[in-house]
A and B are shown apart, each in its own frame.
Chain A
């Protein structure tokens, strides 16, 4: 299945620069958000949303066509 990934801020460095933080990731069926993060090499604290909804549970199972956005986890300034 394919999942659309959008990375923000310094997390864009997890993908080649020309991708500008965007990718379609091929994952085995029944993959979890934690599996996606492992594939992307994201091990640090992040904030993320699944199909526009902020979530925290990395064991959520992804479906074909899902969109995962990943943000830095805090914001002052």
Chain B
């Protein structure tokens, strides 16, 4: 029995209050790795096809991975999965912090939640035990308030709390699941699913440590990581400026979405870049359990007399872009307050900022007027309007109720041909990396089972000439030996997208941080990842095995979607991409035509071994991956 997992998965039925613990064997852990692959295993078995995503039949899973909780950087991550109420496809989101390691240290590797409680409850896990407790008194509190109340009533300030905020309680589809009230499992509406079950929070008390088989190797990897940050400039940038470090580069290549994705360069980018945040409002760095990179930002400032508190962390690159450049806003203090408000209400900052940007474009074009927006001038550049809308969305009040379920639902409600301003695929707002500058990312945005995601594959610059040697040396371990011309798009690039997607998919199975572990620029490459997993388990884990774990997860997700009627027709990019982008940077005048995408998709499905007509996994492929139980 491997010592780094508990061999304990908690099954919770909130309808009847039943709590059961399952003890899978090592083979189960080796096959799926943990994370969303393990979540998908239960979702595919327990959620009946066609289930209402906000109904009691939807299964909601929370999974750590094999290495979670070990004393090595980049392992404290948790994956949350369920059928998404936004896309109606599979939902998936990852988050970090101290909660994931603490869940493992409380004696559980994952939680499978079914049913729906009659009234608000929270789960309290400690010493391998679980209890369902009343949460009526916590309903309606912001995340910071609720966390404080829980710690006080249980008399332990060291407890870790994963929770929904008021947005999740109101079933806003933009709702996130928060921990430490500044770390988010943001995307695909998992906060709304948690709210639909009347599950306010999961509280864990860490009481033991996770152990590796080969502690010496693990310790030497941790020392190597600490010593070598300077050798990996992208990681050093994260340490210095957080994810905001990429703002300036993104702008330089025309990949900083601006004015609701109408252009890729923002003339005020300097005011919101990582250097500026470090020089002005940064108070300190924060981290996740046992991580030496410390990429999390802590800011302290105020905007028009409203305080931005360090306890709510600081804005990530995605938040800076979605509530900043997407909306034409360059006031870093306003962006910091937007980040805080989203964290307080429990909102996905990407979906929320992008939805407000969509509404701003509608307003600018006369599709919305003051009579629709509660008298708010929803114009690009209006920071006050952006902040007011976040609060209205969080409270699901007034025009906020129109936007609270994301831009695709808002377009249905608004009508008036407003869908032409959408920047979504599978109803999910695109994150802040523009496919016109990173062509393979367009393919991944389209085919990704849970909608557009920037953390599901490696980005084009890493497999283009002019980068660091370690990018290419590591990608070669995945069979990628031919870095391509900058800005190019071809079959080799799509092979890069697919293989790196399998690797990223494995990261979301083992539940690892994609800034610390990865296939190119990260602190540790594929070889070190295989070494770490081998040290953790005592198995001989190879890069090939890692890739297959990732491929298995991808196929499980696509199989879930196929069951719900999804085909290649849903693998799209926004109609807006047919027209050339505006602005004055490298992507000005560039389009991403749907016919190009169709050609790329055919190459992609062929590489994946899927049916080219439907874009779905074949029975043969599922059997090859040991997923015959899905076919049967």
Q: How far is the CB of B264 from chain A (nearest CB, A)?
A: 12
Q: Chain B residues near A56 (CB, 8 Å)?
A: 466, 486
Measured CB to CB, the nearest residue on chain B to A52 is B584
Residue-by-residue, is A44-66 near B (CB-CB < 8 Å gives 1, otherwise 0)?
Answer: 11010100101010000000000
Query: Would you call B355 an interface residue if the criterion is a C-beta within 8 Å of the partner chain's C-beta atoms?
Result: no
* Interface Cβ pair total, 8 Å cutoff: 91
Q: How far is the CB of B150 from chain A (nearest CB, A)?
A: 31
Q: Which of A5-13, A23-31, A33-41 contacts B (4 or more CB under 8 A)?
A: A5-13
Measured CB to CB, the nearest residue on chain A to B460 is A74
Q: Chain A residues near B586 (CB, 8 Å)?
A: 54
Q: Chain B residues near A21 (CB, 8 Å)?
A: 275
Which residue of B245, B250, B252, B461 has the most chain A CB atoms within 10 A of its CB atom? B252
- Select which of A8, A20, A45, A76 is within 8 A of B248 by beta carbon: A8
A9 touches B241 (CB 8 A): yes
- Select which of B233, B241, B250, B252 is within 8 A of A44 by beta carbon: B233
Query: Would you call A16 an interface residue if the criterion is a C-beta within 8 Å of the partner chain's C-beta atoms?
Result: no
Measured CB to CB, the nearest residue on chain A to B438 is A75
Q: Which of B240-294 contact A (CB under 8 A)?
A: 240-241, 243, 245-246, 248-250, 252-253, 255, 273-275, 279
Task: Count residues on chain A whose CB falls below 8 Å from chain B CBs.
Answer: 21
Q: Chain A residues near B458 (CB, 8 Å)?
A: 76
Query: Would you call A72 an interface residue if the criterion is a C-beta within 8 Å of the partner chain's C-beta atoms?
Result: yes
Task: Count residues on chain B whose CB falls below 8 Å from chain A CBs.
Answer: 41
CB-CB under 8 A for A75 and B466, given A8-B275, A9-B240, A56-B486: no
Measured CB to CB, the nearest residue on chain A to B240 is A10
B471 touches A74 (CB 8 A): yes
CB-CB under 8 A for A75 and B459, given A9-B248, A9-B275: yes
Q: Chain B residues near A72 (CB, 8 Å)?
A: 233-234, 237, 245-246, 249
Q: Chain B residues near A9 (CB, 8 Å)?
A: 233, 237, 240-241, 245, 248-249, 274-275
Q: How far is the CA of A76 from the CA of B507 in the complex (A)?
A: 15
B459 touches A73 (CB 8 A): no
A75 touches B461 (CB 8 A): yes
Q: How far is the CA of A10 from the CA of B232 in the complex (A)?
A: 11
Query: Would you call B467 an interface residue if the criterion is a C-beta within 8 Å of the partner chain's C-beta atoms?
Result: yes
Q: Chain B residues near A52 (CB, 8 Å)?
A: 584
Q: Chain A residues near B237 (CB, 8 Å)?
A: 9-10, 72
- Select which of B253, B454, B521 is within 8 A of A47 by beta carbon: B253
Extra contacts besides A9-B249, A71-B249, A77-B454 (13): CB < 8 Å? A8-B248, A9-B237, A9-B248, A21-B275, A56-B486, A72-B234, A72-B246, A74-B234, A74-B521, A75-B234, A76-B518, A77-B243, A77-B317
* Residue ranges of A at the interface with B (Cβ–Cβ < 8 Å): 8-10, 12, 20-21, 44-45, 47, 49, 52, 54, 56, 69, 71-77
* Residue ranges of B at the interface with A (Cβ–Cβ < 8 Å): 233-234, 236-238, 240-241, 243, 245-246, 248-250, 252-253, 255, 273-275, 279, 316-317, 433, 454-455, 458-459, 461-462, 466-468, 471, 486, 514-515, 518, 521, 584-586
Contacts A/B (CB < 8 Å), 15 sampled: A20-B279, A44-B233, A54-B253, A71-B252, A72-B233, A74-B249, A74-B467, A74-B471, A75-B234, A75-B246, A76-B459, A76-B462, A76-B514, A77-B243, A77-B455
Closest 3 CB pairs of A and B: A75-B246, A8-B248, A71-B249
